[in-house]
Structure formats: structure tokens, C-alpha cells
Amino acid sequence: MEALAERLSHLDAHVHGAIRVVAFYDTLMRRRVDLPALARASAGLAECVAGVRLHGTGRVIRFSPDGGDASASTASASSTAPITLDEEEIGTVWLERPGPPSPLDDVLLDRLAIAAAAVVERYGPARTTMADPALVELAISSDNDEAARARALRLLGFPADLPVHVVAVRSRLPLDRIGGLICPARPVKAAQLADVGVILATTVDPARFPPGVRAGIGAAESPDRSWREARTALRFTTSRQPVVHHAGLGALGLLAQVPKDIARDNADVAAIARIAENAEDLATLDAYCATGSLRRAADLLHLHHSSVARRLEQIAKTLGVELTEPTGLVRARLALTAWRLLDD
């Protein structure tokens, strides 16, 4: 390469400069630098601010020529180039030269774009929402140390300065579709682990889950704890409440810690099991527990309130509680929830 550059330098100074730019980026790629190091080196070479942005994550990396991080401020790009991987544009690189463009800016940006694509291909983030299950498991496992977890998240494409929420999902819909809906235009990855789908996302919009999806959303900042919370919240989902945020469970979350054999032997829970043998009675009790009102329960069930009242009278006898009293309603709600948790 150096011999070729020397011969070409006698022919054209521009060609000589272009060869040196190419050699510069070849060296960076051999050293397997990451995107911030690539942007920092480019800014030093161009002697102006250089930036990299990935469409899939929205992450902006921007450095000044002195090597300082300039991502907090913005300015107009003097020249840009697309980052292309597998014939798809995945991002943009640019220079912010205050004066007229340099004759070598196009060459520099072309090589920067090629190098950035190589970094993304090697380290992530991948363009697709679906991720390697092994990496996702590393990110959410409580058995790993923080260094291993941070590396897994980096390989999945999550910037260190963004929170990661974990969602546990059961659905027949593709996980990548669900992930794209609940976290549009932001970093999101998904994988299937055993019988539960896992979605890692920087933001989660509960209102955007499509019909037919059961989802539990973790609240903790640490991905491993958020995963435990998400699985717990998933256990509390019902057809009436298909999406549950762990933060909204409050003290109800304690029911998930009760051993199943103890819950099964409880008299109220055993009574719910008997009531569940009749689908109409179970639906009636569910509606009444959800509303706390006989008339509103009747509206949900599309029945006359007198019919619901007769059913509730029989249900109350089976439970051995007075459902019209606050204490009886609380007991019924807790027993119904505990009985549902037995199936998970």
C-alpha cells in the first residue's frame, strides 16, 4: 500500500491524499475499534466535527477534532454519506466543516461509512428486532456479573446511557412485530426463551400491545431484576387485563411468593376452584371483583342485575363470605387472584 501511494503521489496529490485516507481507515478496522473511537478518529483526521447516527437506535455519536464528545450539541452537516449494510441504509455519517468542503471529504465519508457498517456488523446492533437468545439470556440472568451483562447489552445494541426495560410475553404473534409496536424508533430486541418471549426495550408503551398478547412489564432498572418482575407480572394477566405492569401490582405482588401447595390448601382458594367448575359463576365472580358493583358487573356480562344478584348469592354461599361487605369482597378478590396463580 505504501509503495503504491508513493508511485501515485507523483501523479496526483489528490490521489495521494485519498490513498492515505483509505490506509487510515484500513488501520482502524484492523484494530477493531468501536463506533465512538471511529467517530473520534475521523474528527481528528478531518479537523472538524464528525458524527455517526444509526437509524435503528436513534443513537448519535459526535466528536470534535480535539477528541471531545460533542453529542450534547448540534450543528448543520456540511456533507453526509449513508451507512449501508446488506443493501439497506442503516445510518448516516457526516462532517460539520465551518468553511467550504475539503476535496477529500467525500473520500473520508465514504470510508467512514464503510468502517461504521463493518463495526455494526461485527458488534451490533443488528437491524432486526430478533436477537440471539444466548445474548438476551446473558443480559437478564441473575447469575452473571455486571461486566458480563453490560457487554451483552452492548452487543445487543443498547447504549450504556439508556434504561432497558424487560417485558415477558405470551402470544402467537411474532415477537419482532410486538417489539416494533411497543417501542417504535428506539432500541428494542426480542428472543424466545423456553415458553416465554422476552422483549428488551428502552421504552415501553403499554397501550400499543396488540390484541391477543399477554405481557408483564418489569419496573426495575437492572435487567435481571426487571426480568423477574416481568415474569411475575405476566402471571397476573387475564383476558380482562392482558397487560400488567409490575409497578402497578403493589402488595398484590406478594401473592406470587406464596408456595402453590399452601395457596391450594387455603379454604377460600379451594372454594374458588369449586366455583370455577361452572364457567358462568366464575365469569360472574370475576366481573363483580373487577367492578365492586352489582350493576356494573351486570353491564359487563350483558345480564339483568337481578340475574347477577342470584348468581352472587349462590357464590357467596360457596365461599362462605358476604360479598356485599368490604371484607368479603377483598377476600374474594385475593382468593380469585391466588387461584389464577396456581396455573402458572
Average pLDDT over residues 182-205: 88
Inter-residue contact 169 to 196 (CB < 8 Å): yes
The answer to whether 316 and 322 have CB atoms below 8 angstroms apart is yes
Mean pLDDT of 310-325: 92
What value does the mean pLDDT of the chain take?
88
Residue 99 DSSP label: S
Give the burial string for 93-116 (b: 16+ CB within 10 Å, else e).
Answer: bbbbbeeeebeebebbbbbbbbbb
| Class for the domain spanning 2-123 | alpha beta
pLDDT digits (tens, 9 = 90+) for 255-279: 999 999 999 999 999 999 999 999 9
Q: Which of 181-185, 264-268, 300-304 has the lowest mean pLDDT?
A: 181-185
**pLDDT, average across residues 23-29:** 91
Q: What is the mean pLDDT of residues 154-175?
A: 88
> In which residue are the cell numbers 410475553 written?
169
User: Looking at residue 209, what DSSP letter applies?
Assistant: P
Q: Which fold has domain 133-253?
A: Alpha-Beta Plaits (3.30.70)
Total Cβ atoms within 10 A of residue 244: 24
- How do residues 57-94 score in pLDDT, each as one tens digit? 667 899 999 998 887 676 788 999 999 876 778 789 99
Of residues 186 and 221, more confidence is placed in 221
pLDDT at residue 160 tops 90: no
Q: Which residue has the cell 445510518?
A: 91
The pTM of the full predicted model, rounded to 2 decimals, is 0.63
Per domain, the residue ranges of the chain are 2-123, 133-253, 258-341
CB distance 187 to 162 below 8 Å:
yes
Q: What is the model's pLDDT at position 91?
A: 84
Decide if 41 contacts 26 (C-beta within 8 A).
no
Share of the chain above pLDDT 70, in %: 91
CATH topology of domain 258-341: Arc Repressor Mutant, subunit A (1.10.10)
Average pLDDT over residues 15-30: 88
* 161 pLDDT more than 60: yes
pLDDT at 189 over 70: yes
* pLDDT for the residue 265: 96
- The DSSP 8-state label assigned to residue 308 in this structure reads H
Mean pLDDT, residues 130-151 = 87
Q: What is the pLDDT of residue 56?
A: 61
Give the pLDDT confidence of 241-257 residue by residue, as tens digits.
999 999 999 999 999 99
SS3 content of the chain, % helix, strand, coil (to 5): 50, 15, 35
Q: Which of 1, 75, 161 is nearest to 9 (CA)?
A: 1
